[in-house]
Homo-oligomer: A and B are copies of this chain.
Protein backbone atom coordinates (compact mmCIF):
# COMPACT_ATOMS: atom_id res chain seq x y z
CA UNK A 1 0.00 0.00 0.00
CA UNK A 2 1.28 3.45 -0.85
CA UNK A 3 -0.01 6.99 -0.80
CA UNK A 4 0.84 9.51 -3.45
CA UNK A 5 0.47 13.27 -3.34
CA UNK A 6 1.14 16.12 -5.74
CA UNK A 7 3.27 17.96 -3.17
CA UNK A 8 5.55 16.54 -0.49
CA UNK A 9 4.00 16.31 2.95
CA UNK A 10 5.43 16.10 6.45
CA UNK A 11 4.76 13.40 9.00
CA UNK A 12 2.98 14.59 12.10
CA UNK A 13 3.55 13.19 15.57
CA UNK A 14 2.30 13.92 19.06
CA UNK A 15 4.59 13.84 22.09
CA UNK A 16 3.38 14.21 25.66
CA UNK A 17 5.00 15.44 28.82
CA UNK A 18 3.19 13.57 31.59
CA UNK A 19 3.75 15.08 35.03
CA UNK A 20 3.02 13.48 38.37
CA UNK A 21 4.00 14.18 41.96
CA UNK A 22 5.66 11.11 43.44
CA UNK A 23 8.43 10.44 45.89
CA UNK A 24 12.17 10.31 45.41
CA UNK A 25 14.53 7.74 46.92
CA UNK A 26 14.48 9.49 50.31
CA UNK A 27 10.70 9.59 50.34
CA UNK A 28 10.52 13.31 49.68
CA UNK A 29 7.85 14.59 47.32
CA UNK A 30 9.23 14.88 43.81
CA UNK A 31 7.92 16.21 40.52
CA UNK A 32 8.24 13.42 38.00
CA UNK A 33 7.74 12.80 34.31
CA UNK A 34 6.97 9.64 32.34
CA UNK A 35 9.72 8.67 29.91
CA UNK A 36 10.05 5.70 27.62
CA UNK A 37 13.18 3.97 26.49
CA UNK A 38 13.24 3.96 22.72
CA UNK A 39 13.25 0.48 21.20
CA UNK A 40 14.04 1.56 17.65
CA UNK A 41 16.44 3.80 15.82
CA UNK A 42 16.97 6.67 15.81
CA UNK A 43 18.06 7.24 19.40
CA UNK A 44 17.56 3.55 20.18
CA UNK A 45 17.94 2.90 23.91
CA UNK A 46 17.67 6.61 24.77
CA UNK A 47 14.99 8.14 26.93
CA UNK A 48 12.22 10.04 25.19
CA UNK A 49 8.74 11.44 25.67
CA UNK A 50 5.93 9.01 24.91
CA UNK A 51 4.37 9.77 21.57
CA UNK A 52 3.89 8.66 18.00
CA UNK A 53 2.38 9.38 14.65
CA UNK A 54 -1.04 10.91 14.23
CA UNK A 55 -3.28 8.49 12.42
CA UNK A 56 -4.41 9.82 9.08
CA UNK A 57 -6.71 8.20 6.58
CA UNK A 58 -7.51 9.35 3.12
CA UNK A 59 -11.01 7.94 2.88
CA UNK A 60 -14.24 9.39 4.24
CA UNK A 61 -13.18 8.77 7.81
CA UNK A 62 -10.00 10.77 7.89
CA UNK A 63 -8.62 9.41 11.12
CA UNK A 64 -8.34 10.67 14.65
CA UNK A 65 -8.16 14.19 16.02
CA UNK A 66 -4.82 15.35 17.38
CA UNK A 67 -6.02 15.18 20.97
CA UNK A 68 -7.23 11.65 20.36
CA UNK A 69 -3.83 10.75 18.99
CA UNK A 70 -2.20 12.05 22.16
CA UNK A 71 -4.58 10.03 24.33
CA UNK A 72 -4.08 6.91 22.21
CA UNK A 73 -0.31 7.10 22.29
CA UNK A 74 -0.28 7.58 26.04
CA UNK A 75 -2.49 4.54 26.44
CA UNK A 76 -0.45 2.41 24.05
CA UNK A 77 3.01 3.48 25.12
CA UNK A 78 2.60 3.92 28.85
CA UNK A 79 -0.83 2.63 29.83
CA UNK A 80 -1.81 6.09 31.01
CA UNK A 81 -5.17 7.85 30.98
CA UNK A 82 -4.37 11.44 31.86
CA UNK A 83 -6.71 13.48 34.03
CA UNK A 84 -5.65 16.65 32.29
CA UNK A 85 -4.29 17.18 28.81
CA UNK A 86 -3.29 20.48 27.26
CA UNK A 87 -1.62 21.37 24.01
CA UNK A 88 1.77 22.95 24.51
CA UNK A 89 3.25 23.89 21.19
CA UNK A 90 4.10 22.60 17.76
CA UNK A 91 7.69 22.13 16.69
CA UNK A 92 8.64 21.55 13.10
CA UNK A 93 12.14 22.70 12.27
CA UNK A 94 13.53 20.86 9.30
CA UNK A 95 16.21 18.60 10.66
CA UNK A 96 14.80 18.03 14.13
CA UNK A 97 14.31 14.36 13.25
CA UNK A 98 16.89 12.42 11.20
CA UNK A 99 14.14 10.38 9.55
CA UNK A 100 12.84 13.33 7.56
CA UNK A 101 10.48 16.23 7.90
CA UNK A 102 8.50 15.51 11.03
CA UNK A 103 6.28 18.05 12.73
CA UNK A 104 5.53 17.32 16.36
CA UNK A 105 2.65 18.59 18.44
CA UNK A 106 3.64 18.62 22.11
CA UNK A 107 1.19 18.10 24.97
CA UNK A 108 1.37 18.47 28.69
CA UNK A 109 -0.57 15.95 30.78
CA UNK A 110 -1.18 15.64 34.51
CA UNK A 111 -1.94 12.39 36.31
CA UNK A 112 -2.29 11.10 39.85
CA UNK A 113 0.83 9.01 40.31
CA UNK A 114 -1.00 6.81 42.79
CA UNK A 115 -3.21 5.68 39.90
CA UNK A 116 -0.20 5.02 37.70
CA UNK A 117 2.40 3.54 39.99
CA UNK A 118 3.37 1.11 37.28
CA UNK A 119 3.51 2.59 33.82
CA UNK A 120 4.46 0.36 30.95
CA UNK A 121 4.16 0.27 27.20
CA UNK A 122 2.79 -2.64 25.26
CA UNK A 123 5.41 -2.76 22.58
CA UNK A 124 8.53 -3.65 24.53
CA UNK A 125 9.17 -0.04 25.47
CA UNK A 126 9.95 0.51 29.11
CA UNK A 127 7.98 3.43 30.51
CA UNK A 128 8.90 4.81 33.91
CA UNK A 129 8.77 7.84 36.17
CA UNK A 130 11.82 10.07 36.31
CA UNK A 131 12.66 13.07 38.44
CA UNK A 132 12.10 16.24 36.44
CA UNK A 133 14.82 18.04 38.34
CA UNK A 134 17.29 15.27 37.58
CA UNK A 135 16.42 15.08 33.89
CA UNK A 136 16.53 18.83 33.42
CA UNK A 137 19.92 18.96 35.12
CA UNK A 138 21.35 16.55 32.57
CA UNK A 139 22.52 17.81 29.21
CA UNK A 140 20.85 15.97 26.33
CA UNK A 141 19.12 13.53 28.62
CA UNK A 142 16.42 12.90 26.04
CA UNK A 143 16.18 11.96 22.38
CA UNK A 144 15.40 14.45 19.60
CA UNK A 145 14.56 17.92 20.95
CA UNK A 146 12.59 16.45 23.82
CA UNK A 147 14.74 18.22 26.41
CA UNK A 148 13.50 21.48 24.99
CA UNK A 149 9.89 20.31 25.12
CA UNK A 150 10.24 19.10 28.71
CA UNK A 151 11.76 22.40 29.74
CA UNK A 152 8.93 24.29 28.09
CA UNK A 153 6.32 22.05 29.71
CA UNK A 154 7.80 22.48 33.17
CA UNK A 155 7.91 26.23 32.72
CA UNK A 156 4.28 26.23 31.62
CA UNK A 157 3.26 24.08 34.56
CA UNK A 158 5.10 26.25 37.03
CA UNK A 159 3.49 29.42 35.74
CA UNK A 160 0.03 28.08 35.07
CA UNK A 161 -0.37 26.18 38.31
CA UNK A 162 -0.50 29.58 40.01
CA UNK A 163 -3.49 30.84 38.06
CA UNK A 164 -5.38 27.71 37.06
CA UNK A 165 -6.63 24.82 39.18
CA UNK A 166 -4.14 22.32 37.80
CA UNK A 167 -2.88 21.08 41.15
CA UNK A 168 -6.03 19.10 41.81
CA UNK A 169 -5.23 16.82 38.88
CA UNK A 170 -2.16 15.64 40.73
CA UNK A 171 -3.73 14.22 43.86
CA UNK A 172 -6.50 11.77 44.41
CA UNK A 173 -9.46 13.04 46.37
CA UNK A 174 -10.14 13.18 49.19
CA UNK A 175 -7.03 15.13 50.11
CA UNK A 176 -5.99 17.30 53.02
CA UNK A 177 -4.86 20.87 52.60
CA UNK A 178 -1.37 19.78 53.56
CA UNK A 179 -1.25 17.27 50.76
CA UNK A 180 -2.40 19.98 48.36
CA UNK A 181 0.17 22.37 49.70
CA UNK A 182 2.91 19.81 49.24
CA UNK A 183 1.92 19.47 45.57
CA UNK A 184 2.27 23.21 45.13
CA UNK A 185 5.53 23.33 47.05
CA UNK A 186 6.89 20.54 44.89
CA UNK A 187 6.00 22.23 41.63
CA UNK A 188 6.98 25.73 42.70
CA UNK A 189 10.05 24.39 44.50
CA UNK A 190 9.59 26.62 47.53
CA UNK A 191 7.87 26.53 50.89
CA UNK A 192 4.45 28.07 51.35
CA UNK A 193 3.10 29.43 54.62
CA UNK A 194 0.65 26.84 55.90
CA UNK A 195 -1.80 29.24 57.50
CA UNK A 196 -1.97 31.62 54.57
CA UNK A 197 -2.18 28.85 51.97
CA UNK A 198 -5.06 27.36 53.89
CA UNK A 199 -6.99 30.61 54.05
CA UNK A 200 -6.33 31.41 50.42
CA UNK A 201 -7.56 28.08 49.13
CA UNK A 202 -10.58 27.87 51.42
CA UNK A 203 -11.61 31.47 50.69
CA UNK A 204 -11.93 30.45 47.05
CA UNK A 205 -14.79 28.16 48.07
CA UNK A 206 -14.00 25.68 45.32
CA UNK A 207 -13.41 22.71 47.63
CA UNK A 208 -16.07 20.64 49.32
CA UNK A 209 -15.52 18.79 52.57
CA UNK A 210 -15.73 15.02 52.32
CA UNK A 211 -14.79 13.75 55.74
CA UNK A 212 -11.88 13.81 58.14
CA UNK A 213 -8.50 12.21 58.42
CA UNK A 214 -8.29 9.15 60.68
CA UNK A 215 -5.37 7.38 62.25
CA UNK A 216 -2.99 10.31 61.86
CA UNK A 217 -0.57 11.02 64.72
CA UNK A 218 -1.91 14.55 65.13
CA UNK A 219 -5.18 16.40 65.17
CA UNK A 220 -7.37 15.04 62.40
CA UNK A 221 -7.73 17.43 59.50
CA UNK A 222 -10.59 17.94 57.11
CA UNK A 223 -10.49 16.16 53.75
CA UNK A 224 -11.64 17.81 50.55
CA UNK A 225 -12.27 17.28 46.90
CA UNK A 226 -12.16 19.82 44.10
CA UNK A 227 -15.56 20.66 42.66
CA UNK A 228 -15.28 21.66 39.04
CA UNK A 229 -18.92 22.73 38.89
CA UNK A 230 -18.45 25.16 41.73
CA UNK A 231 -15.17 26.34 40.24
CA UNK A 232 -16.67 27.00 36.81
CA UNK A 233 -19.52 28.94 38.36
CA UNK A 234 -17.11 31.02 40.41
CA UNK A 235 -15.10 31.79 37.29
CA UNK A 236 -18.24 32.94 35.50
CA UNK A 237 -18.88 35.25 38.44
CA UNK A 238 -15.50 36.86 37.96
CA UNK A 239 -13.44 34.75 40.33
CA UNK A 240 -9.75 34.32 39.58
CA UNK A 241 -7.74 31.42 40.90
CA UNK A 242 -4.40 32.62 42.14
CA UNK A 243 -1.48 31.47 44.22
CA UNK A 244 0.69 34.51 44.86
CA UNK A 245 4.20 34.99 43.62
CA UNK A 246 6.86 34.55 46.31
CA UNK A 247 8.13 37.75 47.90
CA UNK A 248 11.53 36.34 46.87
CA UNK A 249 14.15 39.05 47.22
CA UNK A 250 13.46 40.20 50.78
CA UNK A 251 15.94 41.43 53.31
CA UNK A 252 14.24 41.20 56.70
Contacts of A65 in B (CB 8 A): 92-94
Other-chain contact of A12, B2, B6, B64, B103 (Cβ < 8 Å)? B103
Q: What is the CB-to-nearest-CB distance from A75 to chain B, in angstroms, rounded to a whole number?
A: 19
* Contact between chains at A101 and B4 (CB < 8 Å): no
B interface footprint on A122-153 (CB within 8 Å = 1, 0 otherwise) = 00000000000000000000000000000000
Contact A5 B9 (CB under 8 A): yes
Partner of A11, one of B9, B64, B105: B9
Return A16 CB to nearest CB of chain B, in Å: 14
From A27-35, A49-57, A77-85, the one touching the partner chain is A49-57
Please give the count of copies of this chain that the complex contains: 2
Please determine whether A8 and B57 come into contact, CB atoms closer than 8 angstroms.
yes
> When A12-B103, A87-B89, A238-B249 are in contact, do A94 and B63 touch as well, CB less than 8 Å?
yes
Interface residues of A (CB under 8 A from B): 1-12, 53-54, 56-58, 61-66, 87, 89-95, 100-101, 103, 105, 238, 240, 245, 248-249
**Among all A-B residue pairs, the 5 with the closest Cβ atoms:** A62-B94, A9-B9, A66-B92, A62-B101, A3-B8
